[in-house]
């Protein structure tokens, strides 16, 4: 799959957030029931039951989804020149930030997992040293800062991976929320501190609840932040060498880089064009626009609404988002028609809306690669890590995957 400098084309990675294709062997370590997780299969089953018809996913089928996740409602073969496989996550838990950083070449295998309650003294001291008023909220292990910002465990990822700093934008501008988050980030041992500002359906303390494994935090989906307009989010990650990730590696070699959707929020690359968006239609439109630009390109896009549907445990909404994604992929397949072009469709973790909880699920994800001009269909061996997806994309762009901190190109296994 390696292209030379003179014939490399456009590589587009579309991450369908929360799109898993079956539980990894260790998926039940935190929640034993997660061993039954299968986001793709369960959404397909639910759609047939509720809609009375199979989901219309002709492009995902043609890209080989049914080869790596056999299902009666998915095509069992394809005439497109594709390589299809699946990838293990390659990092602990199931998290969007860690997933994307890993996919771009970071080594996240040693992410520190910690509840905020275990680090209240140092977080409180850092905030007070920065001039903030800090109190425990109702005596529980989360902090109320300046009467408006909640610093709390993130309840959407596996317990202890991320912390949030959340506030109503009517109480405090986003710059103020971000300042609190940056102070917390300076002492936090976790992978990500997330600054979140939005408009809730009531006072934020009304939406605080207990999570798994002793965590306590704001139930962000229940608060209305995602439903109401004006949401602002900034992801502050653990220190990484971003020069050894795919976007920076591509940019330094002269390849234009565009980051779309949530990828624009969480991936670092100073040279990148950023197109943040949440609505799936906007994400797909920005992605197609970037592909239409002349010359070579790297585009990394995240479809977030699938993940939001998983958190809302809304399998029907998840199904309709998949159909919307499929239609958008049809346009990308048509645009990426030159030898050397690559369309990579994958996920960052699972988020099974039928599993009985609103958390991510630790699942394998598909790796579906459209390769114009390549002969036939290839089955790929299981990748050990999402980092292998990034390394494979680097090779397609004519870049040395060894320039990444983690990952290796996925080799060919067998022709179908």
The string of DSSP letters for 335-355 reads: H--STT-EEEEE-SSB--TTS
Residue 194, strand partner residues: 164, 235
Q: Do 125 and 231 belong to one domain? A: yes
Instruction: Report the CATH number that the domain containing residue 151 is assigned in CATH.
Output: 3.30.70
Domain boundary among 194, 219, 237: 237
User: Nearest-CA neighbor of 346 among 375, 376, 325?
Assistant: 325
State whether the Cα torsion 183-224-325-17 is positive or negative: positive
Q: pLDDT tens, position by position, for the chain (416 residues)?
A: 444 444 569 999 999 999 999 999 999 988 899 999 999 999 999 999 999 999 999 999 999 999 999 999 999 999 999 999 999 999 888 889 889 999 999 987 666 779 999 999 999 999 999 999 999 999 999 999 999 999 999 998 778 889 999 999 999 999 999 999 999 999 998 888 999 999 999 999 999 999 988 999 999 999 999 999 999 999 888 778 899 999 999 999 999 999 999 999 999 999 999 999 999 999 999 999 999 999 999 999 999 999 999 999 999 999 999 999 999 999 999 999 999 999 999 999 999 999 999 889 999 999 999 999 998 899 999 999 999 999 999 999 999 999 999 999 998 554 44
pTM of the complete model beyond 0.85:
no
Determine, yes or no, domain membership for 48: yes
Tell me the residue length of the chain: 416
Strand pairing category for 342-346 and 10-16: parallel
Q: Which residues contact 45 (CB under 8 A, 6 or more apart)?
A: none
Tell me: do 180 and 297 sit in the same domain: no
List Cα–Cα distances, 258 to 16, 134, 280, in angstroms. Answer: 17, 39, 17
- How far CA 285 is from CA of 102, 172, 288, 387, in Å, comes to 26, 32, 5, 26
Q: Has residue 2 been placed in a domain?
A: no
H helix or E strand, kind and range, residue 317: helix 315-335
Domain-located, residue 411: no
For residue 32, what are the domain limits?
A: 10-110+241-403
Q: 119: phi > 0 → left, psi -120 to 50 → alpha, else beta; which?
A: alpha
Strand-pair partners of 134? 145
User: Could you say which of 197, 213, 237 is where a domain stops?
Assistant: 237
Q: Quick one: 230 and 99 in the same domain?
A: no
Measuring CA to CA, which residue among 242, 240, 234, 278 is closest to residue 260?
278
Of 330, 332, 283, the closest CA to residue 306 belongs to 283
| Euclidean distance between CA atoms 57 and 7, whole angstroms | 31
For 162, phi then psi, to 5°, come to -130, 150
- Helix, coil or strand: residue 372: coil
Count of structural domains within the chain: 2
Distance CA 70, CA 366 (A): 12
Question: Is 351 part of a structural domain of the chain?
Answer: yes
Whether residue 100 sits in one domain with residue 197: no
User: What residues form DSSP beta bridges with 369?
Assistant: 83, 344
Query: Which residues lie below 8 Å from residue 360, measured CB to CB, with a gap of 6+?
Result: 18, 93, 94, 95, 96, 156, 157, 158, 307, 310, 349, 350, 351
Q: On the CB side of 381, how many CA atoms lie within 13 Å of its CA? A: 9
Last residue of a domain, one of 216, 237, 258: 237
């Amino acid at each position: 799959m390696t292209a030379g400098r003179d014939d490399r084309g456009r590589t587009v990675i579309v991450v369908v957030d929360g799109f898993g294709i079956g539980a990894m062997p260790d998926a039940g370590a935190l929640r034993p029931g997660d061993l039954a997780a299968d986001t793709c299969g369960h959404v397909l089953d639910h759609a047939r039951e509720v809609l009375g018809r199979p989901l219309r996913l002709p492009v995902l089928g043609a890209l080989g989804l049914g080869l790596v996740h056999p299902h009666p409602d998915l095509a069992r073969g394809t005439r497109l020149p594709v390589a299809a496989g699946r990838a293990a996550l390659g990092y602990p838990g199931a998290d969007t930030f860690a997933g994307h950083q890993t996919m771009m070449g970071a080594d996240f295998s040693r992410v520190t997992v910690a509840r905020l309650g275990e680090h209240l003294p140092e977080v409180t001291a850092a905030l007070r040293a920065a001039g903030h008023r800090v109190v425990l909220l109702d005596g529980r292990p989360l902090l109320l800062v300046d009467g408006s910002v909640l610093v709390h465990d993130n309840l959407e990822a596996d317990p202890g991976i991320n912390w949030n700093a959340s506030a109503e934008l009517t109480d405090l501008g986003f710059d103020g929320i971000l300042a609190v988050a940056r102070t917390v980030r300076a002492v936090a041992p976790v992978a990500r501190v997330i600054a979140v500002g939005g408009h809730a359906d009531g006072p934020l303390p009304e939406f605080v609840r207990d999570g798994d494994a002793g965590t306590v935090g704001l139930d962000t989906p229940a608060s209305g932040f995602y439903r109401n307009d004006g949401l602002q989010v900034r992801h502050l990650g653990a220190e990484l060498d971003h020069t050894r990730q795919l976007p920076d590696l591509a940019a330094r070699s002269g390849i234009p880089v565009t980051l779309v959707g949530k990828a624009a929020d969480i991936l670092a690359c100073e040279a990148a064009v950023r197109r943040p968006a949440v609505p799936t239609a906007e994400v797909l439109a920005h992605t197609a626009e970037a592909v239409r630009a002349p010359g070579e390109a790297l585009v990394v896009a995240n479809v977030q609404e699938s993940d939001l549907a998983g958190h809302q445990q809304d399998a029907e909404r998840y199904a309709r988002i998949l159909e919307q994604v499929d239609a958008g992929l049809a346009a990308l397949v048509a645009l990426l028609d030159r030898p050397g072009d690559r369309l990579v469709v994958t996920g960052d973790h699972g988020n099974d809306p039928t599993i009985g909880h609103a958390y991510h699920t630790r699942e394998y994800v598909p790796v579906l690669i459209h390769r114009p001009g390549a002969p036939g269909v290839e089955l790929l061996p299981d990748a050990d890590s999402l980092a292998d997806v990034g390394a494979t994309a680097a090779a397609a762009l004519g870049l040395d995957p060894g320039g990444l901190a983690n990952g290796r190109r996925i080799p060919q296994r067998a022709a179908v």
